[in-house]
Amino acid sequence: MKVYLTDMGLVNGLGSDRSAVAQALFAGERAFQPCDWVPDRSTFVSAVTAALPDLPPELAVFNSRNTRLACSALTQLNGGLEQARARYAPERIAVVAGTSTSGIAEGEVAVAAELRGAPLPPQYHYQAQEIGNLGQVVARLVGARGPAYTISTACSSSAHALASARRLLATGMADAVIAGGADSLCRLTVNGFAALESVSQGVCSPFSQNRDGINIGEAAAFFLVTREPLVQRIELLGVGASSDAHHISAPDPQGKGAEAAIRAALHQAELAPEAVDYINLHGTGTALNDAMEASVIDRLFPQRPLCSSSKGQLGHTLGAAGATEAALIWLALTGHGGKLPPHIFDGHYDPALPRLNLVPQDNHAAAGARVCLSNSFAFGGNNAAVIMHAGH
């Protein structure tokens, strides 16, 4: 069975739509701003600066930055959605959404008001911060009446959403699936990662000998997933998953779970590792993650495919990262002169790591790169690997 990521919409720190993101991405731009949310120190975050649409009045109780990010990405699916609605009954259109922050930012404002003895903000409703609301909100925004649910597996959430979309199509439970994810910035998340000593003092530098942590970003990315190429012929060849549960926040140093997820994706795609042309690395910029991932890529891919981490440009978008980074590959496979996302860092590759074939900023044209892998590795060992292909 062929499955197509036939249409896509996204918003992140690099831009408010596909065109803007692509221009900034392939130009090697970085989308970071100083952040003073952590007491007694500074860091950087990647925030969406464009205005976001409000939800319709009937969904006002769910109105949060997180759902508005999702709404912004979904508005870019109009072409594909129109075709899907014309072909399939609403009951045959499903939704799978990934998130980890939901409406926490709005909850923070409400809690702060409560602590001051002030009234709650008039627009606040607790339903806006429920972790499972995103799938239902997306379904109502697009008019889908098939299965609709939310996945929250930390930073692999929206990659797992793509796997679920593939299963819904394969089992005949749906004819089209809106799949992706959204996560918004909030103080709780930034301070939580700072407490784990995972936040970079400056702008993150994946695979650098000077790397010292991540920068948090926010984003939304959603795909229209179908068995037929309604708009674009980008195939979702395979998705692999594993849960190694090595540690609540640190990866297995040997990368056994990461390797298992990649091998599972290759098996589903019916491909050998040598078929992969490009890998979008998880590449967070933390000491342990980068060391683990470099080791896994080095032993699995003897052909040394081109690689890059997009987190050096738009930060770690948490639950939205899997779909966001798959969306960056989608952009590369749908034109833009054969360019791949460049690897942006300080240029000082860590000599202690196996040497990866990084896409350079000043010469990142890669004509012929057709089979692409995207890695997402999350807390608790929730790993996912997505393989995409530029179909004929």
Instruction: Please give the Cα distance from 155 to 133 (Å, whole number).
Output: 18
Burial 130-164 (b: 16+ CB within 10 A, else e): beebbbbbbbbbbebebbbebbbbbbbbbbbbbbb
Nearest to 73, CA basis, from 123, 124, 137, 131: 137
How many CB atoms are located within 10 Å of the residue 250 CB? 15
**Backbone phi, psi, residue 351, to 5°:** -65, -15
Active-site amino acid positions? 155, 282, 316
Contact of 197 with 214, CB cutoff 8 Å = no
Q: Strand (E) positions, 244-303?
A: 278-280
Closest Cα to residue 176, out of 265, 239, 87? 87
d(CA 364, CA 358): 9
**Cross-sheet strand order for the sheet of 93-98:** 148-151, 93-98, 176-183, 219-226, 4-12, 234-243, 382-390, 371-378, 278-280, 306-308, 357-358
Cβ proximity of 142 and 95 under 8 Å: yes
Query: 183 forms bridges with which residues in the sheet?
Result: 219
Name 332's Cβ contacts closer than 8 Å, sequence gap at least 6: 278, 339, 340, 341, 369, 372
State the helix-helix crossing angle for 321-333 and 18-26, rounded to 10 degrees.
80
- For the chain, the first-to-last Cα distance in angstroms comes to 15
